[in-house]
């Protein structure tokens, strides 16, 4: 083990999730695999080629840096789409490589035009329209000017898509707002159509919208969390399972995160363990240290809360998570030796630590926990 922990990514689990996703979006719509946040912590460099082997040919990222990583990792001619930030000095790199990107305001559009003329290239853009999230997107009032600019420069601008993003499709609390967004999106799409701005693809759905509001699948869905084997929220999981007879969760987690027992120590009763006074032994204990801490993606808020698996048993975290180290109680586990595996996320024998066990404990979303796993922990694909 080169790092003090390692990650494996299961290809067969991914294939299973992809099948399920296909069933959701259907034949009429295609999939863009969302790999922002280092592929939700799975590692762009290993995830992208694996996904390509499974038939994925379109990837979405947030910024130009991530686009570069996909560009360098892909083994096929997969399309790359930037949904967020392209700094001015990266725009020509992006356009030159035919990487697609969202145009969310007139400012971006106006910056683009002289550049595509200078470079004598065609920019492949997606018009992101404002439908009620009030974060990014061209408003209705911006459209006449945008249409004029696009028409005047139609040789250098290709409209690949028209798109929007929903403000929380994973929660029923946002139902009315999302419904209004869908209506508004259709209207703006029609308006562009009427003005002869015909985008190759309309896309709006993330994982939650694809499941909860199937009519939002349009020509393409942008799916992140679901492909990694996690529900966007418990509500969405319940919504799905209610429609099924067998009530079995069909998703499979791709990621397993492991470390090892670094050292073992016996501690007497009535002793504080580690920094401070948060853990007091209530009996003589045997404790093991694991060389993973908050600097390596294991959140400090899991102190005294979470557990790992050692030798097929749960070992609860004892005391504060340090920067590089955590301590677990193995008093009840027979035969533990230095170098034994410690599962941080994953299965061993009949025991499991899902990522959600973390997020339930510390109120972090799956999304946050996954994306915090440092990029330099080695990831390998397993069948
Ligand atoms: C992150 C993101 C998605 C994917 O969301 P999931 O909930 O992970 O499926 C889709 N569209 C946009 C614009 C995003 O930022």
What's the number of domains the chain is made of? 2
For residue 24, being part of any structural domain is answered with yes
- State residue 270 phi and psi, 5-degree precision: 65, 35
Scanning the structure block, which residue is given the tokens 């929660």? Answer: 171
For residue 377, being part of any structural domain is answered with yes
322 in the same domain as 269: yes
123 in the same domain as 31: yes
Q: Considering 241, 271, 300, which residue would you say is the last residue of a domain?
A: 241
Closest CA to 20 of 282, 231, 176: 231
325 in the same domain as 176: no
Residue 356 alpha carbon to ligand 1 centre in Å: 19
279 in the same domain as 147: no
92 in the same domain as 44: yes
Which helix H or strand E contains 128, and what residues bound it?
strand 123-128
Residue 200 alpha carbon to ligand 1 centre in Å: 20
The tens digit of pLDDT for each residue in 129-151 reads: 999 999 999 999 999 999 999 99
65 in the same domain as 178: yes
- Helix residue ranges, H only, the chain: 11-25, 36-40, 44-53, 64-73, 91-96, 106-119, 143-152, 175-194, 207-212, 234-242, 355-362, 366-371
d(CA 95, CA 105): 17
177 in the same domain as 126: yes
Q: What is the CATH number of the domain that holds 321?
A: 2.40.37.10
pLDDT number for residue 367 = 84
300 in the same domain as 267: yes
Q: Considering 178, 212, 241, which residue would you say is the last residue of a domain?
A: 241
pLDDT number for residue 111 = 92
- Which of 24, 29, 34, 225 is the best mutation target for the ligand 1 pocket, counting ligand atoms within 8 Å of the beta carbon and taking the most? 34
- CA quadruple 135, 140, 142, 147: dihedral sign: positive
pLDDT number for residue 161 = 98
The DSSP symbol for 142 reads: G
Atom of ligand 1 nearest to the CA of 227: 9
Residue 206 alpha carbon to ligand 1 centre in Å: 5
Ligand 1, atom 10, residue with closest C-alpha: 206
- Residue 216 beta carbon below 6 angstroms from any ligand 1 atom: no
Strand partners, 80: 59
Q: Cβ of 50: how many Cβ atoms within 10 Å? A: 22
Q: Are 298 and 326 in contact, with CB atoms under 8 Å apart?
A: yes
Beta strands 79-82 and 263-267 are: unpaired
Helix, strand, or coil (residue 60): strand
Residue 355 alpha carbon to ligand 1 centre in Å: 19
219 in the same domain as 113: yes
- Which of 161, 167, 210, 224 is the best mutation target for the ligand 1 pocket, counting ligand atoms within 8 Å of the beta carbon and taking the most? 224
Q: Are 237 and 243 in contact, with CB atoms under 8 Å apart?
A: no
Contacts of residue 23, defined as CB under 8 A and 6 or more positions apart, other chains included, come to none
Scanning the structure block, which residue is given the tokens 């789409």? Answer: 81
d(CA 340, CA 204): 46
Q: Are 244 and 237 in contact, with CB atoms under 8 Å apart?
A: no
Closest CA to 308 of 260, 357, 352, 343: 343
Print the domain residue range for 287. 255-382
- Residue 366 beta carbon below 6 angstroms from any ligand 1 atom: no
Q: Considering 241, 267, 291, which residue would you say is the last residue of a domain?
A: 241
- State residue 366 phi and psi, 5-degree precision: -45, -45
DSSP string, 78-96: -EEEE-S---GGGHHHHHH
For residue 87, being part of any structural domain is answered with yes
- Residue 206 beta carbon below 6 angstroms from any ligand 1 atom: yes
235 in the same domain as 271: no
Q: Are 239 and 211 in contact, with CB atoms under 8 Å apart?
A: yes
Question: Which segments of the chain have a pLDDT < 50?
Answer: none
For residue 98, being part of any structural domain is answered with yes
288 in the same domain as 323: yes
pLDDT number for residue 363 = 66
pLDDT number for residue 90 = 95
- CA quadruple 272, 277, 283, 287: dihedral sign: negative
């Amino acid at each position: 083990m080169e790092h003090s922990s390692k990650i494996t990514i299961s290809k067969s689990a991914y294939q299973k999730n992809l099948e399920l996703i296909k069933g959701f979006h259907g034949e009429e719509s295609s999939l863009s695999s969302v790999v922002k946040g280092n592929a939700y912590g799975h590692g762009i460099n290993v995830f992208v080629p694996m996904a390509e082997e499974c038939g994925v040919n379109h990837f979405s990222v947030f910024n130009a840096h991530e686009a570069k990583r996909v560009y360098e990792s892909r083994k096929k001619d997969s399309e790359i789409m930037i949904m967020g930030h392209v700094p001015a000095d990266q725009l020509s790199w992006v356009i030159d490589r035919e990487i697609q990107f969202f145009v969310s305001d007139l400012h971006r559009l106006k910056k683009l035009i002289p550049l595509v003329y200078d470079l004598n290239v065609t920019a492949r853009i997606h018009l992101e329209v404002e439908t009620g999230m009030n974060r990014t997107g061209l408003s209705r009032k911006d459209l006449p000017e945008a249409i004029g600019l696009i028409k005047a420069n139609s040789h250098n601008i290709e409209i690949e898509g028209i798109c929007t993003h929903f403000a929380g499709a994973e929660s029923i609390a946002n139902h009315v707002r999302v419904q209004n967004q869908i209506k508004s999106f259709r209207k703006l799409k029609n308006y562009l159509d009427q003005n002869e701005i015909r985008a190759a693809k309309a896309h709006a759905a993330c994982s939650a919208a694809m499941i909860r509001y199937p009519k939002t699948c349009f020509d393409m869905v942008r799916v992140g969390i679901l492909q990694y084997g996690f529900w966007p929220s418990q509500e969405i999981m319940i919504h799905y399972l209610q429609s099924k007879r067998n009530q079995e969760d069909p998703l499979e987690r791709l990621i397993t995160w492991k470390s090892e027992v670094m050292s073992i120590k016996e501690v007497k009763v009535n002793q504080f363990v580690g920094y401070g006074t948060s853990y007091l032994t209530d009996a003589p204990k045997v404790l093991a240290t694991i060389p993973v801490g908050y600097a390596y993606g294991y959140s400090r808020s899991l102190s005294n809360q979470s557990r790992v698996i050692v030798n097929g048993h749960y070992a609860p975290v004892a005391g504060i998570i340090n920067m590089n180290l955590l301590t677990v109680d193995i008093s009840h586990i027979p035969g533990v030796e230095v170098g034994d595996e410690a599962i941080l996320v994953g299965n061993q024998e009949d025991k499991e630590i899902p990522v959600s066990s973390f997020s339930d404990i510390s109120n972090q979303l799956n999304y946050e926990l996954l994306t915090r796993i440092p990029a330099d922990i080695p990831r390998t694909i397993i069948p």
